[in-house]
Chains A and B, each alone.
Chain A
Amino acid sequence: MPSRLGLRAVALAYLVLILLAPLAMVFYRTFESGLHPVWQTLSDPDTIHAFQVTLVATAIAVPLNTVFGVLCGLAIVRRRFPGKGLLNAFIDLPLAVSPVVIGLCLFLLYGRTGWFGGWFLGHGVQILFALPAIVLATVFVSVPFVAREVIPTLRELGNEQEQAAATLGATRWQRFWRITLPSIRWAVIYGVVLTTARCLGEYGAVAVVSGRIQGRTETATLRVDDLLQNFHAAGAYAVSLVLATVAVVVLVAMTVIRPREGSL
Chain B
Amino acid sequence: MTAASAATPTHRIRVGGRASTSLSVGVISTFLMIVVVLPIAALLWESKKSGAHGFWQIVSSPEAVAALELTFGAAFLVVLINAVLGTITAWVLVRDDFRGKALVNAVVDLPFALPTIVAGLTLLALYGPRSPVGAHIAYTRGAIVLALCFVTLPFVVRTVQPVLLELDVEMEEAAQSLGAGRLAVFRRIILPNMLPGILSGVALALARALGEIGSIVVISTNIPYHTEIASVYIFNQIESGYPDYAAAVAVVLLGAAFVLLLAIGALRFFTTRHERA
Listed in ascending order, the chain A residues whose CB lies under 8 Å from chain B are: 4, 7-8, 10-12, 14-15, 18-23, 25-26, 28-29, 64, 68, 71-72, 74-75, 78-81, 87-109, 111, 114-116, 136, 139-140, 143, 159, 162-163, 166-172, 175, 194, 197, 200-204, 207-208, 220-221, 224-225, 228, 236-237, 240, 243-244, 247-248, 250-252, 254-255
Contact = CB atoms under 8 A, between A and B. Distances in A.
Interface stretch (B56-64, B173-181, B256-264): B256-264
Interface of B: 2-3, 5-6, 9, 13, 15-16, 20-22, 24-25, 27-29, 31-32, 35-36, 38-40, 42-43, 45-46, 85, 88-89, 91-93, 95-96, 98, 102, 104-119, 121-123, 125-127, 132, 146, 149-150, 153, 204, 207-208, 210-214, 217-218, 230-232, 234-235, 238, 243, 246-247, 250, 253-254, 257-258, 260-262, 264-265
A23 B106 CA distance: 14
A251 B109 contact: yes
Given A21-B126, A109-B39, A224-B121, A247 B15 contact: no
Contacts of B238: 103-104, 107, 208
Nearest to B40: A105
A250 B35 contact: no
Nearest to B91: A7
A22 B243 contact: no
Nearest to B146: A18
Given A11-B88, A203-B116, A100 B231 contact: yes
Contact of A194 (B111, B112, B217): B112
A245 B108 CA distance: 16
A197 B16 contact: no
Contacts of A194: 112
Given A93-B257, A98-B213, A237-B121, A10 B85 contact: yes
Contacts of B107: 15, 19-20, 251
B215 to A, nearest CB: 9
A14 B85 CA distance: 8
Contacts of B231: 98-101, 204
B-side binding surface: helix, strand, loop or mixed?
helix
A81 B15 contact: no
9 contacts: A8-B92, A11-B92, A88-B265, A99-B231, A105-B43, A203-B116, A240-B117, A251-B109, A255-B106
Contact of A102 (B39, B88, B109): B39
Nearest to B255: A97
Contacts of B36: 90, 93-94, 140, 143
B254 A97 contact: yes
Contacts of A94: 36
Contacts of B112: 194, 197, 254
A221 B214 contact: yes
A71 B24 contact: yes
A172 B257 contact: no
Given A71-B24, A93-B261, A100-B213, A108 B113 contact: no
A251 B35 CA distance: 28
Nearest to B217: A225
- 3 nearest interchain CB pairs? A201-B115, A98-B211, A105-B39
Contact of A101 (B43, B118, B232): B43
B6 A166 contact: yes
A88 B264 CA distance: 12
B153 A19 contact: yes
A170 B2 CA distance: 8
A254 B109 contact: yes
Contacts of A71: 24, 27-28
Given A98-B231, A166-B13, A172-B20, A79 B89 contact: no
Contact of A240 (B3, B88, B118, B246): B118
B125 A175 contact: no
A101 B250 contact: yes
A97 B257 contact: yes
A19 B261 contact: no
